[in-house]
Amino acid sequence: MIRFNKVLILFGLLVTLLPFFFVQQVKAAETDPVYDKIKANGQLVVGLSADYAPYEFHATIDGKDEIVGFDISIAQKIADDLGVELKIEELGFDALLGALKTGKIDVVISGMAATDERKKEVNFSNTYMEVQQKVIVRAEDADTFQSTSDFDGVAVGAQKQTTQEELAKTELTGSTVTSLQKVPDLITNLTSGKIDAIVMEGPVADAYVMSNDKLAIADNVTFENGTKETAVAISKEAPVLLEKVNASIDTIVNNDLLTQYQAEANALMFGDEDTVEQGFFAKYVPFYISGTGYTIFLAFVGVLFGSIGGSLLAFMKLSKNKILKVIAAVYIEYVRGTPLLVQIFIVYFGTGVLGLDLSKVTAGCIALALNSAAYVAEIIRAGINAVNKGQLEAARSLGMNQMQAMRFIVFPQAIKNILPALGNEFVTVIKESSVVSVIGVSELIFQTGVVQGASFKPFLPYVIVSLIYFVLTFALSRLLGVAERRMKTSD
Amino acid sequence: MIKIDKLVKTYGENTVLNQIDLEVTSGEVVVIIGPSGSGKSTFLRCLNLLEQPTDGQITFEGNDLLAKNFNIDQIRQKMGMVFQSFNLFPHKTVLENLTLSPIKVKKMAPAAAEKTAQDLLAQVGLADKANSYPASLSGGQQQRVAIARALAMDPDVMLFDEPTSALDPEMVGEVLAVMQTLAEKGMTMVVVTHEMGFAKEVADRVIFMADGIIQEQGTPEEIFDHPQNSRTQDFLSKVL
């Protein structure tokens, strides 16, 4: 059986590697499409999820927001060795492999473990770091948990789709596992007593314990398979790049450069501890301001182009042509019947598959506009239908054709019904644009994650962001109310 | 001028107009009376195809209106229509209500269109309301504007669909007066109305409709003084 497996693996390896040999022979070695692109553009695009201190996180350096961490140092080293510029692309962790496979980014360096699951999708470089998984608990519970068998009936948290989640399920026998997207959310759950322990990566756990004395590490709990091999993820179509990256990583490992990188990262993380305590607001206001700017921009562009698309859809739906009618109806029902989150992923990765290289913001705007168009279409249709039928008849009786009657008579009146509802749609899109954070558009929710990651405060940033949203939407609805009353009086 | 042959209009199972024949000659004032639901308004609205007839033929100035791909828009310019509920454009001033279609459809020069509009407003006695919005006018004034608006297209025939039914009693007179003046000037008119006095005084021919067919027609004297049909007699005994 074992022998058979080995044969199978060998065979599999041969099959997967064959194309590479072939490609290399034809192209006279030393090249692959991804590597060529990097060289041609003069930049290495590294994808990461910058809410994972000390791996990668936001810090204010000389008054400027920058992404730092030891993964960044590694990325910089690789870029230097390749002789190109380093470009960081921020994404949600879930979106990283999708972005890599669709060519949005060249490599992923985001504390990513080289698991067998992931190896089916992408290649991994040599391991640059091995870390142990640890269990973090509330300080007063530190002595309760002595081994992996002490977790019967205990609520344990872990990040969704991670090694840690797997460990919690397999090795902490009897535990009930809560999987969340983000580490700060897990910490909030732990401190508020919703869960009693979190499985976390060593360096991250250490960072949280150091910054929060209500937390402790259950030192005696050790995992059998708790060693994580962190590596750089690279597309399977990039063997040359893989070779180059491995060379850089070997240099890093052999010269023990990582120790130095980690020290730098830790210094940035805790070096300005005092200022963190002193001026949370002063330090993080810029994040919120920029986030607010993006949120308003997204909502505005989304509703603007949504209105254009929505008008088109509405006219298609109101037209006499059956085919147009059906197309519009199907689109509207489909978009209104599927989650915005899914639509965003489809637009972002779908355009990648089609070979269009859209930026995150563009993709976000397009997704919001396409989504909003369906809702606006219904608003416009309802607004037009609300205009008295006699108006159209009067216009037609004067010899106007359908187009003229709509343009000069019906539409100017429909606008008065449509505008207030359109304003409400704008308010809705402001809130819904938060979903775009998953592809790394740095709007409010994304920035909140950044602040959480950098400040180690899991709860406060949410309170602040909720207030910002409220102020935005409340001010806007007041404004709309005034505008609406103005329009009424002009009747 | 208008010739209607075997006009049929059905809504599903319900036959509203059943084989109606009628000819209206130039300069004639035809008044259609009859009980509610008799199909008078539907008949009128079929004439300019606001309602699509189910069957039959309508010929207007030699054009077969129900021919395939016939462009009704040009014919509608020649058939002015006045509605029961006025249907003035609320977002336009009175003057704009009158000039919009001449400018956009007939491509008249704005100055010329305004000149015509002012003259028409003077004719209906509303020259001072040119820059008002319809919402600020009384019902009678609105209906007079609506008549002027239809006249602004310089039509060959005017269709009136119960023009005074939505008006307060004291305003009926002013609208009828405008219509009477129009008739005296020789305008061809088809009027659906409940105003028997108007029918008696102005009509060249009165048509009594009930149950989707023309029950009786003739001069006002014939219909009002010597009705032959029992339905006509019954109806007139109730309204007069």
Among A285, A262, A251, residue whose Cα is nearest residue A447:
A285
pLDDT score for A487: 72
Nearest to B91 among A394, A395, A413 (CB): A413
Strands B79-82 and B29-33: unpaired
Instruction: Convert the pLDDT of each residue in B151-196 to its tens digit.
Output: 999 999 999 999 999 999 999 999 999 999 999 999 999 999 999 9
E-only strand ranges, chain B: 2-11, 14-24, 29-33, 55-60, 63-64, 79-82, 157-161, 188-192, 205-210, 213-218
Q: How confident is the model at residue B33 (pLDDT cuts 50, 70, 90)?
A: very high
Give how far A313 is from chain B: nearest CA, Å: 25
User: Cβ distance A331 to A372 under 8 Å?
Assistant: no
Give how far A305 is from chain B: nearest CA, Å: 27
pLDDT score for A308: 94
Is the pLDDT at B25 greater than 90, yes or no?
A: yes
pLDDT score for A273: 46
Please provide the average confidence, as pLDDT, over all residues in chain B: 94
pLDDT score for A276: 44
ipTM higher than the 0.95 cut: no
Q: How many residues does chain B have?
A: 240
Amino acid at the residue A172: L
User: Cβ distance A325 to A319 under 8 Å?
Assistant: yes
Instruction: Convert the pLDDT of each residue in B70-116 to its tens digit.
Output: 889 999 999 999 999 999 999 999 999 999 999 999 999 999 999 99
The whole-angstrom separation of Cα B218 and Cα A404 is: 41
pLDDT score for A449: 85
Instruction: Convert the pLDDT of each residue in B109-121 to its tens digit.
Output: 999 999 999 999 9
A54 to each of A167, A239, A270, A331, how far by Cα in Å?
A: 22, 29, 10, 45
Give how far B75 is from chain A: nearest CA, Å: 7
pLDDT tens, per residue, chain A with 491 residues: 444 555 555 555 545 554 444 444 444 445 688 998 999 999 999 999 887 878 888 887 777 778 899 999 999 999 999 999 999 998 888 889 888 988 889 999 998 988 888 999 999 999 998 888 899 999 888 888 888 888 888 999 998 877 888 889 888 888 899 888 788 888 888 988 889 999 998 888 888 888 788 889 988 888 888 888 899 999 998 999 999 999 999 999 998 888 888 888 877 876 554 444 446 777 788 889 999 999 999 999 999 999 999 999 998 998 889 999 999 999 999 999 999 999 998 998 888 778 777 888 999 999 999 999 999 999 999 999 999 999 999 999 999 998 999 999 999 999 888 988 988 899 999 999 999 988 888 899 988 988 887 777 788 899 999 999 999 999 998 988 888 887 765 55
Give how far B87 is from chain A: nearest CA, Å: 6
pLDDT score for A417: 87
Which site among B87, B100, B142, B160 would you substitute to test the A interface, given the most A Cβ atoms closer than 10 Å to its Cβ? B87
User: Cβ distance B30 to B190 under 8 Å?
Assistant: yes
User: Is A404 within 8 Å of B149 when comparing Cβ atoms?
Assistant: no
Residue owning tokens 């197309």: A327
Contacts of A409 in chain B (CB under 8 A): 89
pLDDT score for A271: 57
Give how far A410 is from chain B: nearest CA, Å: 9
User: Cβ distance B212 to B12 under 8 Å?
Assistant: no
This prediction has a pTM of 0.68
From A391, which residue of chain B is nearest by alpha-carbon distance? B87
Among A287, A300, A428, A448, residue whose Cα is nearest residue A364:
A300
Nearest to A408 among B76, B83, B100 (CB): B100
Which site among A388, A396, A398, A407 would you substitute to test the B interface, given the most B Cβ atoms closer than 10 Å to its Cβ? A398
pLDDT score for B138: 95
pLDDT score for A43: 93
User: Is A393 within 8 Å of B87 when comparing Cβ atoms?
Assistant: yes
Contacts of B80 in chain A (CB under 8 A): 397-398
pLDDT score for A30: 57
The whole-angstrom separation of Cα B97 and Cα B126 is: 13
From A401, which residue of chain B is nearest by alpha-carbon distance? B73
Instruction: Convert the pLDDT of each residue in A351-398 to its tens digit.
Output: 877 877 788 899 999 999 999 999 999 999 999 999 999 999 999 999
CB atoms within 10 A of CB B137: 18
pLDDT score for A349: 86
pLDDT score for A274: 44
The whole-angstrom separation of Cα B27 and Cα B186 is: 5
